[in-house]
C-alpha cells in the first residue's frame, strides 16, 4: 500500500478540525499556531478529546484553546523535568568523581581493573579521548596543553561527559561499595540509583528532542525501591509504573537531598493547577497529594 493522502493547506487543516466538531473561535490565531506547531504534532494532544477515534469526531464543546493549553502544559512540563534532571546529574557527577578520586587517585578512570570486565572499557576510554581532543572548553584545553596524561583528572573529565556516558561509567564501576558510597548520599541503594540514572537518560533525551512527555508510557522504567527510603517506597506507584508519576516522584525525592530549599515540587503542582490538568494520564494515583514525597509535612 502506498501513502496517498495529500498535504493540506492551513485552512484545509482548520476546516477538517471544524468538520470533526472542534470549536475554533479565532481562526487567525489557530492558523498561526498550526503554521508553527504542525498539525500532526498537535494531533497527539487532541486525541484525548475525541469521542470516537475511528471517525476522529471530537466530544461536544472541544475547543482549539483547550488542546493548545494541553500542548503548552506538556512543553512547560518538559522544561521543569529538565531542570530537575540537570541538578541531579551535576550532583551525581560530583559525588562519583569525588569518591573515585579519593579512593583510587585523580586518574582512576585509566585503571581498567576498577571497571566491570564484561564492559567494553577500551571503547569508552577511546570515546572520552576523542571528546577531550575535540573540546574547546578552556579548562580542558589548559589541561590538555599542560600535562602529559592520556586524559584529564576525573573531576575535570566528568564535566564534559554526557549524561549517558556518566550513567554508563557509574553502572560499570566494578565495586559495589564504590557505587553505594555515591548512592547513600541520596539515601538509596546503588541498584536503584543505577537503574534511575539509566531511566533518566531516556527521559532527558525525550525532553531535549521536544517529544511528548505528559501521557507517555516508558519502555524502560527504573527499579522501584523495596525497603528504603521509606518516604519514597510509600510514594511510588507500582500499578502505573510505566507512566510519568514515578519519575517525577523520584525526582522530587532526589531534589530534597540535592537542593533542600528547592521549590520544584510546588512549581509542578502549580503547573497542574494552572492548566487544569487531570494527572491520571500521567499515572498519578488518586491519593498522590497525601503521599510523603509530595507533602513532606505528612511524613
Indicate the SS3 state at residue 253: helix
What per-residue confidence (pLDDT) applies to 299? 46
What per-residue confidence (pLDDT) applies to 164? 96
Element (H, E) at 123: helix 121-134
Largest CA distance in the chain: 71
Segments in the chain below pLDDT 70: 297-299
What per-residue confidence (pLDDT) applies to 297? 55
88: its cell numbers: 541531579
Angle between helices 176-183 and 190-208 (to 10 degrees): 70
Indicate the SS3 state at residue 269: helix
**Which residues are within 8 A (CB) of 239 and not within 5 positions of it... i.e. 6 or more apart?**
285
Specify the length of the chain in residues.
299
| pLDDT tens string 60-119 | 999 999 999 999 999 999 999 999 999 999 999 999 999 999 999 999 999 999 999 999
Amino acid at each position: 500500500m502506498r501513502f496517498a493522502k495529500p498535504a493540506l493547506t492551513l485552512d484545509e487543516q482548520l476546516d477538517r478540525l471544524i468538520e470533526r466538531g472542534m470549536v475554533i473561535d479565532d481562526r487567525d490565531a489557530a492558523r498561526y499556531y498550526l503554521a508553527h506547531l504542525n498539525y500532526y504534532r498537535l494531533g497527539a494532544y487532541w486525541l484525548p478529546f475525541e469521542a470516537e477515534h475511528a471517525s476522529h469526531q471530537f466530544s461536544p464543546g472541544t475547543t482549539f484553546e483547550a488542546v493548545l493549553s494541553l500542548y503548552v502544559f506538556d512543553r512547560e512540563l518538559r522544561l521543569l523535568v529538565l531542570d530537575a534532571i540537570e541538578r541531579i546529574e551535576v550532583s551525581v557527577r560530583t559525588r562519583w568523581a569525588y569518591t573515585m578520586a579519593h579512593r583510587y587517585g585523580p586518574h582512576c578512570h585509566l585503571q581498567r581493573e576498577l571497571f566491570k570486565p564484561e564492559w567494553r572499557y577500551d571503547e569508552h576510554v577511546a570515546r572520552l579521548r576523542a571528546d577531550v581532543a575535540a573540546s574547546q572548553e578552556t579548562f580542558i584545553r589548559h589541561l590538555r596543553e599542560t600535562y602529559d596524561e592520556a586524559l584529564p583528572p576525573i573531576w575535570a573529565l566528568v564535566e564534559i561527559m554526557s549524561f549517558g556516558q556518566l550513567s554508563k561509567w557509574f553502572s560499570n564501576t566494578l565495586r559495589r561499595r564504590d557505587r553505594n558510597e555515591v548512592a547513600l548520599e541520596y539515601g538509596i541503594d546503588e541498584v536503584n540509583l543505577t537503574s534511575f540514572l539509566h531511566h533518566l537518560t531516556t527521559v532527558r533525551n525525550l525532553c531535549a528532542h521536544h517529544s511528548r512527555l505528559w501521557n507517555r508510557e516508558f519502555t524502560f522504567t527504573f527499579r522501584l525501591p523495596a525497603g528504603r527510603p521509606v518516604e519514597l517506597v510509600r510514594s511510588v506507584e507500582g500499578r502505573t509504573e510505566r507512566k510519568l508519576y514515578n519519575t517525577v516522584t523520584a525526582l522530587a525525592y532526589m531534589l530534597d537531598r540535592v537542593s533542600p530549599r528547592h521549590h520544584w515540587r510546588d512549581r509542578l503542582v502549580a503547573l497542574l493547577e494552572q492548566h487544569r490538568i487531570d494527572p491520571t494520564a500521567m499515572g498519578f494515583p488518586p491519593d498522590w497529594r497525601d503521599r510523603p514525597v509530595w507533602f513532606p509535612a505528612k511524613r
